[in-house]
Structure 1
Amino acid sequence: MATTAPKKAVLYRMVMPEHTCPYGLKSKWQLERHGYEVEDHWLRTKEQTEAFKTKHDVKTTPQTFIVGERVGGNDDLTRFFGGHVPAKDETSYKPVIAVFSMTALMALAVSYAVLGTPFTIRAGEWFIAFSMCVLALLKLQDVEKFSTMFLNYDLLAKRWVPYGYIYPFAEGGAGVLMIASAMTWLSVPVALVIGTIGAVSVFKAVYLDKRELKCACVGGSSNVPLGFISLTENLMMVAMALWMLFAPAALSMAH
């Protein structure tokens, strides 16, 4: 019975006392994951690395060779196996989806811990408040970059630049107060104002002016496109503010 010869690949990567190339580790993992036996060559010094680059006329390592043909670096290897490598300016909603997914799970977990069941009205409130806090945290990592990107589309920030610096603090502060159900006299108007201005700004930029911009919602270094999800973030703040403003009165009337 004939046996299939193992697939083989030759990998050259930097493994030095002060530095192990992370892309080399990823390339080795990709090859092994796809069933390749890896002939793993370590470039242990800068001199060895530069000599290798010169010999093969390449600018970077790692480099993978399969059946004697150079595949290339880790991104090239990803493409070789049919994977997607994002382009430099490619936009994605993944950061926002990751934030909302985690804050939703956090809200369900807290609801279960405090109220004994994950699916409660309070969980919905916590979800929005947690989302506000996490989004504010991402903006606060680099307020300067956030404010610069924010100025591309926010109507108030364009007229009054300091608003771009104030916004993440206002969003985070309102979120914290909403989690605690404290000082609603402050958190509700803040969330209502910044949410309304944000929603109008995004709607104008995207749906009226038809501009293709990046959203500053997860910080000034993101590649999240300005669009429906950005609008949803602001509408969630407005909805939360209105709920906290009118729900207690409605519930008291019901009783």
Structure 2
Amino acid sequence: MTHTYEVTGMTCEACEYKIQHVLSNVEGVKSVTPDRTNNAATIEMDKHIPTSRFQEALKPYPKYTISEKVDLPATHTMAFEEEAPKSWLATYKPLLLIFTFITGVSVITAFHAGIFEIAHFSAMHFMNHFMAGFFLVFSFFKLLNLKGFAESYAMYDLLAMKVPSYGYVYPFIELALGIAYLVNFQPVTTNIATIVVMGFSSIGVIMSVLDNKKIRCACLGAVFNLPMSTVTIIEDLLMVAMAAAMLAI
């Protein structure tokens, strides 16, 4: 059973994901497709759900309102149906490019040689530079739209769900970790902090993926529209594994 409702207050992609997240948690809802262009949301449900239930779910967010709506214009419906889904490569292209650049720079800087010496590769230097690049670049994208990131992050991070202000602090934690790796500040403390922060963050990601929640990944802030998937899990656990390896070496 599918119904389309009028939803007001959506002004950006973060708003759409907020509506999707909140309404998806209403019992009986199978999927939510927000559309800020038409001030609408199409909701698929197991059985009829009174509009009052959705209004109650949005009550903590007075910016948004939901009410009964007539069908969407035919022109919009046709455009939506004809839109071809992106391939995996096209979807994750921004993330893959960033990882490639960070990896390439880290490999180059990990080679050391004196005037009369043969260059040798340092795994420790590679991991240290990779971690620095990762945290600095990813925090940069999050800080471009701090509010948008915080709202997206609160949809799946366990702490941000309970304490929304944590979403505003998290990019600065990543920035601090990036600087710490860059200047090699207290390596043991920095690696332990990375394991704790990224390990805890991965819990919410894993739970969302296992629950098949179709929500936005906030790893690159609100700049790119990346879906939550196993790619996000790998990204978080890779940081944990590198930090653990640096402690063990």
CA distance in 1, matches of 2:101, 2:144: 19
Question: Partner residue of 1:206?
Answer: 209
**In structure 2, distance between residues paired with 1:187 and 1:136:** 16
List structure 1 segments (4+ residues) > 4 angstroms apart after TM superposition. Answer: 84-87
> How far is 1:104 from its partner?
0.6
Q: Which residue of structure 1 lines up, in the alignment, with residue 133 of structure 2? A: 130
SS of the residue corresponding to residue 213 of structure 2 reads: coil
**DSSP 3-state at the match of 1:206:** helix
The 2-side partners of 1:183 and 1:119 are apart by: 19
Cα offset, 1:114, TM superposition: 6.8
Cα contact 2:109–2:125 (8 A) shared by 1: no
CA deviations on 1:102-123 (whole Å, 9 max, x unpaired) are: 1011101212367834564421
Choose 1 or 2 for highest CA Rg.
Answer: 1
Aligned to 1:176: 179
Shift, 1:85, TM fit = 8.3
Structure number with the bigger relative contact order (C-alpha 8 A, sep ≥ 6) is 2
Unaligned runs of 5+ in 2: 1-82
Rounded to whole Å, the distance in 2 between the matches of 1:157 and 1:225 is: 18
Q: After TM superposition, list the pairs within 5 Å mapping 1:4-153 onto structure 2.
A: 92-112=91-111, 116-117=119-120, 120-153=123-156
Q: Percent identity?
A: 27
Deviation at 1:168, TM superposition (A): 0.9
May I ask how many residue pairs the two structures share in their alignment?
161
Distance 1:114 1:130 in 2: 22
2:159 to 151, 156, 159: 156
Shift of 1:218: 0.7
Q: Could you tell me how far apart the structure 2 residues matched to 1:240 and 1:94 are?
A: 23
Q: 2: CA distance between counterparts of 1:134 and 1:228?
A: 21
Aligned equivalent of 1:57:
none
Contact 1:153 1:205 in 2 (8 A): yes
RMSD: 2.6
TM-score normalised by L of structure 2: 0.58
Equivalent pair of 2:127/2:242 in contact (CA under 8 Å) = no
